[in-house]
Amino acid sequence: MNAFHLDPAMKVVVQGATGRMGSRHARLMKDYGTQVVAGTAGVSGRREDIGIPLFDDCAQAVQATGATASITLVPPMDVLGAVTQALDAGIRLIVSPSEGMPVRDALVAVAKVREHGAHWVGPSTPGIAIPGRMKLGFIPDVSLLPGSLGVMSKSGTLSYEVCHRLARRGIGQSAWVGVGGDAAKGMRFAELLPFFHDDADTRAVLVLGEIGGDEEEELAQAMARSCFTKPVFVLLAGASAPEGVTMGHAGAMVHGGTGSMATKTRALRDVGAEVFTSIQALVDGVVASDV
């Protein structure tokens, strides 16, 4: 697989661009500065003018525009088909915001993406962004500010709130990647570490995680192996969650010796990360660090 990277000048296809969400966010992303060069018609087949050329499928869109990235604004049951179509068309960066994608479909999509040497962000992601230059997804503009903090997050709403508070205090982001909270997904925290390590605009990394799963422990292991030297600030949500209560994210399951607040905190602090359990404490910690 090629190294993950974000090109602010990437040309983007919106899959499902004629749907209600697709047409709305195609316009919003284009207005933000993203090079949205094409769309594919959704299942409705509607062809109303949304300000970008429309095609029957990704292959036609890529051939006509040279697009290299896509965002799949389609229902959860259609995500696998959209990802497959994008891969077959030569797309190598796919973003899938849809929530509720079947786990089996997600596992199949992960395997297909790896076979093609591509990158898939999602499902259930708020999107990706290089603030001031491009965004793919639903990240609100009020939370985006150009800066030096690399952001990776499981939760969309939590990242909006944290980054909005930081932006109000003058601290912006170099790049933002929402990996989503599902257990089976395309990109995980550890896979983003080399990108932020090599990115000259990133001086520190902000990780917005939660209890459940082993993604944060996996990130700590990757930090140890790579001797990651940039400051890492982590917010772990769910400190007060009572045992046995179902969390909102599909990946928020504590099992065996991983996934708890204690195991995640210990693993991350052992490799030098600063770990917080409240938004205000995190914001104050990042501001005080003068990154």
Q: What is the pLDDT of residue 46?
A: 57
264 and 187 housed in the same domain: yes
89 occurs within a structural domain? yes
- Which CATH number belongs to the domain containing residue 102 in this structure? 3.40.50.720
71 and 168 housed in the same domain: no
Looking at the DSSP bridge assignments, the partners of residue 224 are none
Q: What average pLDDT does range 258-266 have in this prediction?
A: 86
75 and 155 housed in the same domain: no
pLDDT band, residue 146 (cuts 50/70/90): very high
For residue 57, give its domain range.
Answer: 11-121
The percentage of the chain sitting over the pLDDT mark of 90, rounded to a whole number, equals 84
108 and 157 housed in the same domain: no
1 occurs within a structural domain? no
132 occurs within a structural domain? no
49 and 175 housed in the same domain: no
Whether 248 has a pLDDT exceeding 70, the answer reads no
pTM: 0.92
Q: What is the pLDDT of residue 44?
A: 53
* Range in 194-198, 203-207, 247-251, 268-272 with the lowest mean pLDDT: 247-251
173 and 248 housed in the same domain: yes
206 and 81 housed in the same domain: no
Residues 247-251: contacts with CB under 8 Å, at least 24 apart? 247/210, 247/211, 247/212, 248/181, 249/124, 249/154, 249/155, 249/181, 249/182, 249/210, 249/212, 250/103, 250/124, 250/181, 250/182, 250/183, 251/154, 251/181, 251/182, 251/183, 251/185, 251/212, 251/213, 251/215
Which of 74, 92, 121 terminates a domain? The answer is 121
215 occurs within a structural domain? yes
Which of 57, 89, 121 terminates a domain? The answer is 121
CA-to-CA separations, 123 to 102, 200, 201, in angstroms, rounded: 10, 28, 27
Q: What is the pLDDT of residue 94?
A: 98
156 occurs within a structural domain? yes
For the chain, the C-alpha Rg in angstroms (whole number) is 18
147 and 249 housed in the same domain: yes
116 occurs within a structural domain? yes
271 and 170 housed in the same domain: yes
Instruction: Give the torsion through C-alpha atoms of 54, 57, 61, 67, to 10 deg.
Output: 120
CA-to-CA separations, 254 to 64, 212, 263, 265, 270, in angstroms, rounded: 47, 4, 10, 14, 20
87 and 168 housed in the same domain: no
128 occurs within a structural domain? no
48 and 178 housed in the same domain: no
54 and 178 housed in the same domain: no
Q: What is the pLDDT of residue 291?
A: 81
The percentage of the chain sitting over the pLDDT mark of 70, rounded to a whole number, equals 90
168 occurs within a structural domain? yes
Whether 45 has a pLDDT exceeding 60, the answer reads no
The number of distinct structural domains making up the chain is 2
**Residues designated as active site:** 249
- Which CATH number belongs to the domain containing residue 281 in this structure? 3.40.50.261
Whether 96 has a pLDDT exceeding 60, the answer reads yes
- Residue 89 in 3-state DSSP? coil
